[in-house]
């Protein structure tokens, strides 16, 4: 699993300001590089390539990039609003992390600063004749980069914030999180003993915050456990909601002795747990499935009335859950240094409840949605009967109960019953 500092770094690099700041610094450095290397350029070269024209080119870039950046920012904000209102606010985070959008805006801002610094340096005479030649060459390269970025940006605008594109992002995030959890079922630690009885000598650490667990640094916990010869039993997973005073970690000495107050630094253990106000997609497959289900529920609301989107999401749910039930080519992994850290794993029942229950509830009065849900459950029961069958039967029976209470025509009810009988039991 990812260490805390790497996870924080990955979160920072996904922010819009990070790439914009990086490209801005690059633009300033690029504009000043001609001052440093101007002595390596022959003086006669400037007359041959027309380096005097660089002033006008930089002026055009500065004025045009400022306008393009302003337009792009307004378009981006509109796309975020469309994703929030048309899909779900929980999916806006993924739209904001779009690399194409971030690269385009960062390129425009960086180009603007490059031209601005270049104009200022030219007005002070810092370049000289030779420096103008090098600045001219770099400016041509920047123009090519701007044209390429604009073409990509224009193509990307046709998809940014659209319902289908946003759902694609959510589905990909869920699949990535599920594949990672399948590979690391206990986040690098080992399975929590199902019949564990904590000894009276154990010590419990409680939360001092209220929010959602975003990340657990299992490697750091493993180092703490080995250093103090203790076992750490975690009651939480990424995505768990915790409150002040809620038990998070049970500490048990390997030797069975009592854990003295202060013998294990509680602040170090709690520092390995990142708690914030909202859930994230990276290490929380249940959140991604809940967001997919929320998209379908919103589509089924009377205000939207779009059962086609709900049916599309059901198909995506089958694809994502298939990743959970697909036989793996390699055995699940764990970190050898985390053998004293115990975590609970995700259950199929929880995954099915997160995805199917809301859609079944909100689509109970629509025959086509009920049929698609039943077919999805039948498909999953055939994909991995040993793992999925009981959960599929449970949700199919619940769907029939809801449909019987909501549908008006007996013919539609009989149609669902006939389809449900084809499910392996």
The C-alpha atoms of residue 346 and residue 343 are separated, in whole angstroms, by 10
Q: Taking a C-beta distance cutoff of 8 angstroms, is the pair 212, 319 a contact? A: no
User: What kind and span of H or E run contains 149?
Assistant: helix 128-157
Q: Which residue has the higher pLDDT, 368 or 336?
A: 368
Q: Taking a C-beta distance cutoff of 8 angstroms, is the pair 389, 381 a contact? A: yes
The C-alpha atoms of residue 281 and residue 188 are separated, in whole angstroms, by 18
Q: For the sheet containing 230-234, what is the strand order?
A: 190-191, 341-343, 230-234, 247-253, 203-206
Split at pLDDT 50, 70, 90, the class of 158 is confident
Split at pLDDT 50, 70, 90, the class of 38 is low
In tens, the pLDDT along 127-148 reads 666 667 777 888 888 899 999 9
Q: In this structure, what DSSP letter does residue 238 have?
A: T
| DSSP characters over 79-106 | HHHHHHHHT-GGGHHHHHT-HHHHHHHH
The interaxial angle of helices 385-406 and 410-420, nearest 10 deg, is 170
Decide if pLDDT at 47 tops 50.
no
Closest among 159, 143, 50 to 101, alpha carbons compared: 159
**Average per-residue pLDDT for the chain:** 86
Decide if pLDDT at 63 tops 50.
yes
Split at pLDDT 50, 70, 90, the class of 332 is low
pTM attached to this predicted model: 0.85
Q: Is 284 left (phi over 0), alpha (psi -120 to 50) or beta?
A: beta
Of 2-6, 51-55, 277-281, 396-400, the poorest mean pLDDT is in 51-55
Average pLDDT over residues 45-58: 64
User: What kind and span of H or E run contains 275?
Assistant: strand 273-276
Q: Taking a C-beta distance cutoff of 8 angstroms, is the pair 286, 344 a contact? A: no
Q: What is the pLDDT of residue 261?
A: 58
Residues 6 or more apart whose CB falls under 8 angstroms from that of 182 comprise 323, 324, 328, 332
Q: In this structure, what DSSP letter does residue 215 have?
A: E
Decide if pLDDT at 398 tops 60.
yes
Average pLDDT over residues 256-276: 76
Residues 6 or more apart whose CB falls under 8 angstroms from that of 321 comprise 178, 289, 351, 352, 355, 380, 388
């Amino acid at each position: 699993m990812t260490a805390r500092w790497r996870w924080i770094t990955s979160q920072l690099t996904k922010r819009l300001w990070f790439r914009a700041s990086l490209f801005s610094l690059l633009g300033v450095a690029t504009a000043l590089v001609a001052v440093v290397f101007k002595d390596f350029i022959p003086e006669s070269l400037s007359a041959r390539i027309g380096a005097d024209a660089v002033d006008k080119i930089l002026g055009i870039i500065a004025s045009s990039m400022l306008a393009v950046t302003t337009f792009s920012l307004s378009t981006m904000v509109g796309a975020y609003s469309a994703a929030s209102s048309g899909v779900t606010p929980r999916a806006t985070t993924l739209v904001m992390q779009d690399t194409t959008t971030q690269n385009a805006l960062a390129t425009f801002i960086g180009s603007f600063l490059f031209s601005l610094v270049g104009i200022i340096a030219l007005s002070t005479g810092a370049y000289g004749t030779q420096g103008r030649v090098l600045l001219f060459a770099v400016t041509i390269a920047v123009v090519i980069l701007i044209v390429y970025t604009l073409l990509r940006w224009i193509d990307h605008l046709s998809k940014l914030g659209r319902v289908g594109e946003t759902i694609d992002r959510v589905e990909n995030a869920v699949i990535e999180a599920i594949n990672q959890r399948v590979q690391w079922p206990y986040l690098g630690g080992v399975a929590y003993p199902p019949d564990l009885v904590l000894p009276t000598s154990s010590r419990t650490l409680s939360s001092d915050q209220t929010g959602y667990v975003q990340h657990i640094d299992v490697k750091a916990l493993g180092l703490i456990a080995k250093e103090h010869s203790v076992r750490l039993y975690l009651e939480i997973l990424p995505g768990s909601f915790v409150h002040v005073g809620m038990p998070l970690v049970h500490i048990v000495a390997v030797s069975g002795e009592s854990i003295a107050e202060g013998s294990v630094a509680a602040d170090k253990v709690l520092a390995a747990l990142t708690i914030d106000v909202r859930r994230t997609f990276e290490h929380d497959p249940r959140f991604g499935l809940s967001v997919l289900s929320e998209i379908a529920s919103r589509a089924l609301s009377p205000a939207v009335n779009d059962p086609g989107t709900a049916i599309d999401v059901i198909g995506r749910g089958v694809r994502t859950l298939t990743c959970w039930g697909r036989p793996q080519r390699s055995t699940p992994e764990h970190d050898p240094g985390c053998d004293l850290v115990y975590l609970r794993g995700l259950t199929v029942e929880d995954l099915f409840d997160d995805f199917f229950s809301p859609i079944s509830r909100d689509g109970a009065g629509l025959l086509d949605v009920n049929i698609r849900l039943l077919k999805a459950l039948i498909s999953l029961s055939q994909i991995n009967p040993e793992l999925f069958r009981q959960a599929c039967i449970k949700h199919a029976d619940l769907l029939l109960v809801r449909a019987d209470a909501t549908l008006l025509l007996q013919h539609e009810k009989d149609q669902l019953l006939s389809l449900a009988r084809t499910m392996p039991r």
